[in-house]
Chain A
Amino acid sequence: MRARPHRRDWEVLGLEPGADPKDVRRAYRERRALYASDSLATYTLIEDDDRIALLDRIEEAYQAIMGARATAKTSGEREELGQIPEGPEPPLDLEPGRHLRYHRLSKGMTLAQVAEEIKVRPSLLEKIEHEQSEQLPAAVYVRGFIIQYARLLGVHEPERVAAGYLAKIDRGPAGL
């Protein structure tokens, strides 16, 4: 992940530099839908490999913008939220739920906002953050939710986060 977004990252999402995070998330969601392989609006506009390259570029731009935001957030802005992530980033392998929560609070997002963005119930997100493994759905769904969640937060390598999370909570004999 780059330390700060380039001008081109904002352009890729069709935004002015410094746009509101809410608009960044909306633009990101819209662009992903627009260039999805089943999108009517871009049917035959671009070749399949260009489509994939473009989706990667959208992802990269979003990660760059949201990643930079996390580090640039001032203490004043954090205080407004009332919930400041304290201390260092909880390690993914030991505390994956708190790891996600830490990144969410760094982004200044509430559970409800995340829930609306990735279309899951807030209560489920809360269970994910608290690693209440016995109350979570099947691993395959949890994996999908976490990838979306991590991606929304701009966390590096969402797949790795999901794998780390499942490895932590699913230590029983059932496996995956």
Chain B
Amino acid sequence: MEHCSTSLPRIWAVGGGKGGVGKSVIAANLGVVLAEAGHRVVLVDADLGGANLHTLLGIANPQATLSDFIARRVKKLDEIMMPTAHEQLWLVSGARALLEMANPKHTQKTKILRHVSALPADHVILDLGAGSAFNVLDFFLAARRGILVVTPEATSVENAYHFLKAAFFRKLKRAEPRHRVRTAINQAMQERDGRPIRSPRDLITRVMLIDPIAGAGVLAESSTFNPALLVNRIERPDDQKLGTEICTACRDYFGNEMGCLGHIPTDRLLARSVQERRPAATLYPESPFVRSLRSITHLLTDIEEVDLAG
């Protein structure tokens, strides 16, 4: 496999709004799968305050972590890249973060993101915390592609939609020219005549009518909102439809294509791999979980090639 050592890494973020849907396990195994395919991969545990990627990779006591970087005990992020059991896979741990670090300040966040995008790797995978706090959204939006993990449960779907809406509106706020965009959005929301605004898609249409320049800015910003959906822990064949259904609903609602990465079945071997503190991709490479994840990884890198070409 060819690599250009000077090119910037592709950044993936794994989020999902709800805790316990399998974000960290998916991030860790995605890292192993990509590393085994010959890529240089850095996993970054951005779940400050709930970090456990190191445990999933069998590193009990990370020597240096993001907290050292935030506290400026180390200057560069690559100084705290720890080797793992896999030759091509490194970890930037989020362990031992102090309480106040769970919500890094804007400047700290910007600094982390700047350093992340300069890591010497082909792929960087950000494992995000639960919830829809601004810092989680910002890491998600900073990625080349955000991967949204949901499980076939109402609670997970609910949090995923809350997360997506929050991320979408956070992104819209960045649309340029900011002042005109803000004015046009406010005007659109206050208009009482005409068809009601039921979705971001309606809102964008309305903004375009009010102020074409603001509309173009909003459209440009929203069109780069393209998270990819992954349905984890499906139990019944019927659950397989959930992914495509959510993608259809998101296209109707946001007006954007959302990549549907597919689904991963519930796999008992996974619990055992967590217990053993070694990734399933290493211990059980032919398990249903790992096989699904492997095909999803191919899909993910393919989507990216298409995007780059386009």
Contact = CB atoms under 8 A, between A and B. Distances in A.
B157 A30 contact: no
A43 to B, nearest CB: 5
Interface stretch (A45-53, A97-105, A106-114, A150-158): A45-53
B162 A44 contact: yes
Interface string B130-174: 000000000000000000000010100110011000000000000
Interface string B228-268: 00000000000001100110110111000000000000000
Contacts of B187: none
Given A40-B152, A40-B154, A53-B198, A45 B161 contact: yes
Contact of A54 (B152, B161, B198, B251): B198
A40 B251 contact: no
A41 interface: yes
Interface residues of A, number: 17
Contacts of B161: 43-45
A42 B249 contact: yes
Most buried by A among B154, B161, B252, B253: B252
B199 interface: yes
Contacts of A50: 198-199
B158 A41 contact: no
A34 interface: yes
A31 to B, nearest CB: 8
B282 to A, nearest CB: 33
| B-side interface mostly | helix
Contact of A46 (B157, B158, B199, B246): B199
A31 B245 CA distance: 9
A41 B245 contact: yes
B162 A34 contact: no
Contacts of A46: 198-199, 253
B249 A41 contact: yes
Nearest to B242: A41
Contact of B157 (A14, A35, A44, A53): A44
A40 B248 contact: no
Interface in A38-68: 39-47, 50, 53-54
A34 B248 contact: yes
Given A46-B199, A54-B198, A40 B249 contact: no
A45 B253 contact: yes
Contacts of B154: 40, 43
A30 B246 CA distance: 12
Interface of A: 14, 30-31, 34-35, 39-47, 50, 53-54
Given A40-B157, A41-B157, 12 more contacts: A14-B248, A14-B251, A14-B252, A34-B248, A39-B245, A40-B152, A40-B154, A41-B242, A43-B154, A44-B157, A46-B198, A54-B252
24 contacts: A30-B248, A31-B248, A34-B248, A34-B249, A40-B152, A40-B154, A40-B242, A41-B157, A41-B242, A41-B245, A41-B246, A42-B245, A43-B154, A43-B158, A43-B161, A44-B158, A44-B162, A45-B161, A45-B249, A46-B253, A47-B198, A53-B196, A54-B198, A54-B252
Q: What are the 7 A-B residue pairs with the smallest beta carbon separation, nearest first? A: A41-B245, A44-B158, A50-B198, A43-B157, A42-B249, A45-B161, A41-B246
